[in-house]
Structure 1
Amino acid sequence: MNDATNDVSVTKNNEHDPLFSILIPSWNNLEILKITIGSILKNSTYRHQIVVHVNEGSDGTLAWLSEKGILHTHSDKNVGVCYGFNLPSSLATCEYIVLSDDDNYFCPGWDKYLYEEVRKQQGIKWCISGTLIEREVTKNACVIAPYDFGSDQTNFDEARLLAEYDKIPFADWHGSNWYPMVLPRQLWCAVGGLSVEFSPGMYSDPDFMMKLWHYGVRTFKGVSKARAYHFMSKTTSRVKRNDGAKTFLFKWGMSSSVFLKYHLQMGRNDRGEEISTPTPSKMKDYFKRIWNAIRTSAT
């Protein structure tokens, strides 16, 4: 695919139809999943379709979703987030898909502010994220931190979060890449969803952004007012990690760090302009490829 790919028009929803198809992979994380889905039902401005992919589900997740009448797909074992998003996307019926982790509490108006930004877009070449609030400072410049409202269902201070979430100053930002993320379902289908060679999922996010970039997307925006609290429940600590950094490097010919910094301009304040194509030096990535090739042949 190339940057000359034609846009396809998107038909607007009837006001009575669900607005977003929200896809949520979950792996034996029922108590936090209940909070996530509860916040969508309680704090959304619009009605949405929720589709969960249940990885294993030995903790009662399947029974709870069935009892609540929530649409879901299922795998007997954990197949990771790549299949975990791709499978439920086959059941999505809305014009727009939202990707979400299973440990996000959606704050009031999250969908209103995302949809306000969506309505400004032309065609389907755009990707827009909400903004996470996290209890710990990390290297991620796109989140609001540190603001600790709890680590799980046992100590979650919902009342304090609802009183404070919209009073924390933060600007719109460049980069998208982070969930919750909304994009047109046509765009999701055009690039084939998440790439399963990154299973169980490390570096599948920047790979997905790179696929969007090659399709011609230049609007990667984070909306400050569309907020969600991230419990940081660390599901990834339970899986055997794939070497996503190396897979990304050999697939695209550059490191994910170069892509995020120079292409997506991750974390830079958004001023309403599209991202321009960068021309960074590729020597650093060239030597990384050589080193990885030597290391691989040595093993």
Structure 2
Amino acid sequence: MFELIKVARKDCSKSKFSILIPSWNNLDYLQVCINSILKNSVFDHQIIVVVNDGNDGTLEWVKNNQILDYVHAKENIGICYALNICRGLIKTDYVLYANDDMYFLPNWDKILADEIEKIGHKNFMLSATMIEPTGENPCSVIRNYGNDIKSFREADLLADQEKLYRDDWNGSTWPPNIVHIDNWDLVGGMSIEYSPGMYSDPDLSRKLWEAGIRIFKGKGTSLVYHFACKSTGRIRKNKGQKTFVLKWNISAKTFQTKYLLRGQSVVNELPEIHLTTTEKLKQLIKRLKAVF
């Protein structure tokens, strides 16, 4: 069993979202992340940090920061367990999962809150849009403002914010993502068979899809800068792609591109999908390969 300590301190009576941030000995990035939330948010939010290990000074810093609720795990429990263990501390109607190596740009939260109000019900998954220094993510804006904290050009990033806006997009899976607490509970949060966490994001979207949700939208003007893989590069990764196809009988790529229309211009409610016989055969072959 994991050794866990949960601590709730913040008065959340006026908080809009509950922001869950797992962190594994990544104090410099965690400080930048939380400071950006405090500085650049329109609303007050509950921030819950999951301190994995924390022997780099993270635990002491979080303990001394009275506005943070936190969970302390004496070992690295990964993303799935970390997010699920926060459930007893969550005090708002909305669960937002964020990485500790993200910087939140001004107005990020009001854009998401306005979209939630516009939707008018709780059956959705929304994401902010990541700005990343490298890569080919069709849901991101690729622009380099620094690969690490030392090279981070915060002033340039803020000055360029409006130039970085993009159209809204389909395919919400990646953090920062937000769902209503009722739907988080309905599908059981994160699936622990993906521990420490690879492919748990599309799995959550797939579970929500199975529950009947058809709004998976990324907001192109709600922006976060993502330094990318500052923690995942240190772990032994699970074979999440294999787990996904064995669980759902389709690949994560097929789900994201065919069902969620990842990166395409936004559709308010995604259509029902019926794979062709050829596509079903391809998915069966992928599943058999995963088995053997």
Q: Same fold judged by TM-score > 0.5?
A: yes
The question of whether the paired residues in 2 share the 8 Å contact of 1:23 and 1:89 is answered with no
The question of whether the paired residues in 2 share the 8 Å contact of 1:44 and 1:109 is answered with yes
Residues 1:27 and 2:24 are matched in the alignment: yes
Within 2, Cα distance between the matches of 1:220 and 1:81? 21
Residues 1:277 and 2:275 are matched in the alignment: no
Within a 5 Å distance, the mapping from 1:137-216 to structure 2 comes to 137-138=135-136, 140-145=137-142, 147-216=143-212
Within 2, Cα distance between the matches of 1:168 and 1:199? 34
Within 1, Cα distance between the matches of 2:50 and 2:164? 33
Within 2, Cα distance between the matches of 1:222 and 1:115? 13
Aligned counterpart, 1:46? 43
Aligned counterpart, 2:78? 80
* Identity percentage of aligned residues: 42
Q: Deviations over 1:15-67 (max 9, x none)?
A: 96100000000000000000000000000000000000011111111100111
- Which runs of 4 or more aligned residues in structure 1 lie more than 2 Å from their structure 2 counterparts after TM superposition? none
Partner SS for 2:262: coil
Within 2, Cα distance between the matches of 1:61 and 1:169? 33
The question of whether the paired residues in 1 share the 8 Å contact of 2:246 and 2:290 is answered with no
Within 1, Cα distance between the matches of 2:219 and 2:200? 22
**How far has the Cα of 1:77 moved from its partner?**
0.9
5+ long unaligned stretches in structure 1: 1-14
Partner SS for 2:44: coil
Within 1, Cα distance between the matches of 2:248 and 2:238? 17
Partner SS for 2:20: strand
Partner SS for 2:183: helix
Judging changes above 3 Å, is the alpha-carbon distance between structure 1 residues 76 and 16 closer, same or farther for their aligned structure 2 residues? Answer: closer
5+ long unaligned stretches in structure 2: 1-11
Q: Structure 1 counterpart of 2:34, which letter?
A: I
The question of whether the paired residues in 1 share the 8 Å contact of 2:245 and 2:290 is answered with no
Residues 1:135 and 2:124 are matched in the alignment: no
Aligned residues: 277
Aligned counterpart, 1:105? 103
Within 1, Cα distance between the matches of 2:200 and 2:149? 28
Within 1, Cα distance between the matches of 2:57 and 2:230? 20
Judging changes above 3 Å, is the alpha-carbon distance between structure 1 residues 16 and 196 closer, same or farther for their aligned structure 2 residues? Answer: closer
The question of whether the paired residues in 2 share the 8 Å contact of 1:130 and 1:180 is answered with yes
**How far has the Cα of 1:104 moved from its partner?**
0.7
- C-alpha RMSD of the superposition: 1.3
Q: Deviations over 1:220-271 (max 9, x none)?
A: 0000110000011431121111111111111111111111111111111114
The question of whether the paired residues in 2 share the 8 Å contact of 1:80 and 1:201 is answered with yes
Residues 1:58 and 2:34 are matched in the alignment: no
Q: Structure 2 counterpart of 1:59, which letter?
A: D
